[in-house]
Amino acid sequence: MKHKKLNTKVLFLASWYPSDVNHLLGNFVQKHAEIASDIVDVEVLFAVSNENVDNFIVKDTIINGVKTIIVYYPKIKSNIPLLSSYKKKSAYIKALSIGFEKLTKQNKYNLVHLNIAFPAGLFAFGLKSKHKIPYIITEHWTGFLPHKKEYEKLPIYIKRQFKKIYSNADKILSVSEHLGESLVNLKLTKNFETIPNVVNSEFFYPNHDELNNDKVRFIHVSTFNDEHKNISGMLSAFSQLDRNYELHIITEGSEDEVWKKLKAYNIPKENCLVDSKLTTKEVGEAMRLADCFILFSNYETFSVVLAEAWRTGIPAIYSQCGGLTEINNPDLGVQIEPRDEEGLLNALQNFQITDYSRGKIFEYSHNFSEEKLREQLLKIYSEVI
């Protein structure tokens, strides 16, 4: 499908992006870049340290139709904190400068779309100062949230850099209302717009056939990180569940780790299915076979997996902890308090798939569709440029 396209060149400058160092880091930024490329000319610039290189290496590729420059540079090692910080910053800026020079031999940018303000925002600020290229920020970092308070613990000189980056941006975008309000409360900005992460409609869509499961199928997809996802609390509730059910856990880590946790909570093995490192397509297939998605996190910035569940038309039982979990709509599932194991157990015990309409849930999930994001980006770019 062809889309209205602006005669505009946008540099997607990212603090996080998938690379040979980490294939998953910033995959939501990559998805934004690919969708933006439908409406403007987009090129991506990212730099990352790599312990396997001893010089600056430029990787110039076309990924899903988007020209992408990734610059790898050697890891900086120093036992002196201030010296180490200075050297790391210098190497990082040099890497981005090398990549930018390669890109700008033929191109002139109308806008920099900065993704995650720090540290790439230092380079965005430099481009605005030197070349008068405006920049906007899309923020994803959970460290701003009151649950985490990571920003508040940063050294004063790092906070000053954040403030400089934010105060010179032409527009601030946040992936959730909750995160945007945190930015305001921290006095990094007075205004923001919400622009959600997007779900891949190629892989996440409803199952239009009626499921006749002989047991309720619950599904959980996460990193299995207890501090973030409260796995212990979730499994504690399941260990007390008195009904015929199946729990399908999809983890990015080790299946053995999951089975050990399940055993520790005396959850019957015959009630469980565990998978590791599934493809996006496989996760979508698993969600379509489920009756209900479970999210019992302590905090979330957006929660792509919750959006993916709703995009497949399944309801969720989820803790109110930021991002999409702030939405309280009984048509979408049951919202509970974070760490409320009794509330989770009660919701699991009383869940009935017949209380929900897959069609209605899918209709609501249009808010996280590619088409919706294109509309928002087109409006934002037109206002700034």
Per-residue pLDDT, averaged over 47-65, amounts to 96
| CA 286 to chain centroid | 20
| CA 23 to chain centroid | 13
Q: If you write DSSP's letter for every residue of 106-175 in order, what string do you get? A: T---SEEEEESSTTHHHHHHHHHHHH---EEEEE--GGGSTTT-TGGGS-HHHHHHHHHHHHT-SEEEES
Q: pTM here?
A: 0.88
Per-residue pLDDT, averaged over 143-164, amounts to 93
**Whole-number Å distance between alpha carbons of 366 and 377:** 15
What tokens appear for 299 in the block?
């905090």
Q: 174 or 1, which is more confident? A: 174
CB 186 within 8 A of CB 159: no
CB 280 within 8 A of CB 295: no
| CA 315 to chain centroid | 20
Backbone region of residue 116 per phi and psi (left: phi > 0; alpha: psi in -120 to 50; beta: other values): left
- Reported as a single tens digit per residue, the pLDDT across 88-131 is 999 999 999 999 999 987 678 999 999 999 999 999 999 999 99
Confidence band, pLDDT 50/70/90 cuts, at residue 139: very high
pLDDT of residue 106: 65
What tokens appear for 63 in the block?
């990924």
Domains annotated on the chain, with CATH? 9-198+369-384 (3.40.50.2000), 216-367 (3.40.50.2000)
List the beta bridge partners of residue 138.
115, 173
**1 pLDDT above the threshold of 80:** no
Please name the residue that has the structure tokens 């087109």.
378
**360 pLDDT above the threshold of 80:** yes
Q: Among the listed ranges 80-89, 212-221, 331-340, which one has the minimum average pLDDT value?
A: 80-89
Among 245, 239, 230, which residue's Cα sits nearest to residue 321?
230
Rg of the Cα trace of the chain?
22
**Whole-number Å distance between alpha carbons of 173 and 375:** 14
Strands 57-63 and 66-73: antiparallel
CB 115 within 8 A of CB 16: yes
| CA 142 to chain centroid | 10
pLDDT of residue 122: 97
- Reported as a single tens digit per residue, the pLDDT across 193-245 is 999 999 999 999 998 776 777 899 999 999 999 999 999 999 999 999 999 99
| 155 φ/ψ angles, rounded to the nearest 5 degrees | -60, 155
Q: Among the listed ranges 4-8, 193-197, 250-254, which one has the minimum average pLDDT value?
A: 4-8
What tokens appear for 52 in the block?
């396997």
What integer best gives the mean pLDDT of the chain? 94
pLDDT of residue 97: 97
CB 56 within 8 A of CB 95: yes
